[in-house]
Structure 1
Amino acid sequence: MDISKLFKEVKQLPVLPILLLELMESFANEDTSVNDIAKKIGMDQGISAKVIRMANSVAYRRGKEVNSISQAVIRLGFNQVRSIVVAATLSNVFPDTPGFDKNQFWKDTFSIASIAKTFAGHTNVDPETAFTCAMMHNIGELLLQILRPDECGLVAMSIDLGTPKLSAQREIFGFDHSQVGVKLALYWQFSDVFCRAIEQQLNPLSFDPPSSEAVLIRLAVFTHFAWQANLPAEMIVARFPISLIDNLQLNKAGLVEEFSTMLDEADALSRLMSA
């Protein structure tokens, strides 16, 4: 199957909300103010409720309960609010597909994004940009689930029989989810930093130059699945791929102590989005 043919056959690709597009643009716009974003968020009741709920959560609650978007933005900070809105809007863009556990997909994604954000704080990469790139790294898989559910079922069967996921995708589709993801990102007119992260996520060091955000995604995916396998934080950090660490010049000091915090943040996001 040709990937261009796949997109040509689509009558209607998922449409991104204007709020999310404006937030994406705000990463490159230093003049964006908190008040501007608060006003835009206030126009979406569902997103507003999630932001206020997060501001009143155990992790962030300080003093009396907040009841407005402006108060929530002040308490959480612009960057945290932007992360919440990106997560909330992006997770609602794609429709449910029978046989595909979208809740588990987003739970894994929230975890990987929170890990990438934390790790970015130990590098020169902007943590919120890393978070958003990681939130979008698997959008190609979601699109395949919508457009080709039967073939995705064959991929799942191949994986159950021991075939690596990427090998199964390439055998059945002729391409993998990262290639679909970057084509969708280009269709949505995402900026270069997001497109490169999605495109390079599977093997970032094979590109010249490699995307630092893609390297963080690769490391976050490694960490997420190692944690899911019940490996202790100390062992995970000790087994970080040296090539990824060297590329990022990541400072591992204090990372082990941050594991519980970043995973708690991922759980809080997951609960918030499913509420």
Structure 2
Amino acid sequence: MSTQNALLTILVEKINNDTLVLPTLPAVALKVRKAADDPNVNLNAMGDVVGKDPSLSMRMIKIANSAYLGRTVKVTSIGQAVTRIGLRQIKNISTALAMEQLFVSKNDVVGNYMKREWGTTINVVAYSMAALQLYVNRTKKRELSLDTMTLAALVHNIGVLPILTEAERHEEVFANPTFLEVAIDKLSGRIGGSIMRAWGFDEEFTIVAENWRDLSVLPDNLSYVDFVRIGAALAGKMDSQKDAVLNLAIQRGALEEVSELTTDEFKEMCASAKQVFA
């Protein structure tokens, strides 16, 4: 059996036996999510939780001052930032900001793959966010929130992490990027869904992680997976399906026409979204 086939067999067996090691949510994200789920938490208490992590605090202030929230008056403290962002949004935003911690490896080869994957994921996030903003501006409908969209796009391909981690033990497979892509294409959705359930995320995130590649999966109503697919197509992750994705987006009302995606407004929105994670 070739190394490639052996790795694929190992991955499938571990998935079936529920023994595949899944990534854990960064500690700071766990603390913020736990606090946000407390019905008695208030803005001051949440500010204290976020404030214990200097890196998260600085990035939260940056978001509060960014075009992401469309505000012009600057805030200078984590208390002001939390007040501006709000308790509902801060749970998803803090998790999103912590996600980058997962895309690292002590192995140089694996680390390079994860770094590239993170960069591509940020592109998916930016395009998805911008597409949702265009939709909201055009329709005035707000059933989908930007903070949830951000996190959904960030975790859409989270299933790739255990595959790369398992492949660390077989470095020779990294000499064959095509094989890795096949493994990721076949298994990452299933693994991603398992991660979302293990993390206790809402079903909308599980749907995205499991099904964003499968265009036959169509929720009854317009959902985050529609916009993640747009983002993935524009980021070059669905080249063979790009036209189908964009046509489907028009049919489902996520887009009015493809030309929207080449406007200066869309480009500016993408740039603002990327700045959140710069």
Scaled by the length of structure 1, what TM-score is found?
0.71
- The structural deviation recorded for 1:36 is 4.6
Match of 1:112 among 110, 119, 124: 124
Equivalent AA in structure 1 for residue 276 of structure 2: L
- Map of 1:154 onto structure 2: 173
Aligned residue-pair number: 252
- Gap regions ≥5 residues in structure 2: 1-8, 137-142
- The structural deviation recorded for 1:209 is 4.5
- The structural deviation recorded for 1:18 is 5.3
Equivalent AA in structure 2 for residue 71 of structure 1: Q
- Gap regions ≥5 residues in structure 1: 229-235
- Map of 1:259 onto structure 2: 266
- Map of 2:108 onto structure 1: 98
Match of 1:220 among 216, 231, 236: 231
- Map of 1:203 onto structure 2: 214
Match of 1:241 among 229, 241, 246: 246
Deviations 1:88-122 (A, max 9, x none): 21111354143132333222212211221222231
Asked whether the 8 Å contact 1:219–1:240 carries over to 2, the reply is yes
- Map of 1:169 onto structure 2: 183
Deviations 1:141-172 (A, max 9, x none): 1221112235686366152xxx793xx2179x
- The structural deviation recorded for 1:35 is 4.2
- The structural deviation recorded for 1:13 is 3.7
Q: What's the % identity of the aligned pairs?
A: 21
SS state at 2:216 partner: helix
Asked whether the 8 Å contact 2:160–2:184 carries over to 1, the reply is no
CA distance in 1, matches of 2:72, 2:219: 46
- Does the alignment pair 1:46 with 2:55? yes
Q: CA RMSD in A?
A: 4.0
CA distance in 1, matches of 2:30, 2:175: 32
CA distance in 1, matches of 2:73, 2:248: 45
CA distance in 1, matches of 2:104, 2:195: 16
Match of 1:190 among 195, 198, 201: 201
- The structural deviation recorded for 1:42 is 1.3
CA distance in 2, matches of 1:140, 1:221: 15
Scaled by the length of structure 2, what TM-score is found?
0.70
- The structural deviation recorded for 1:222 is 0.9
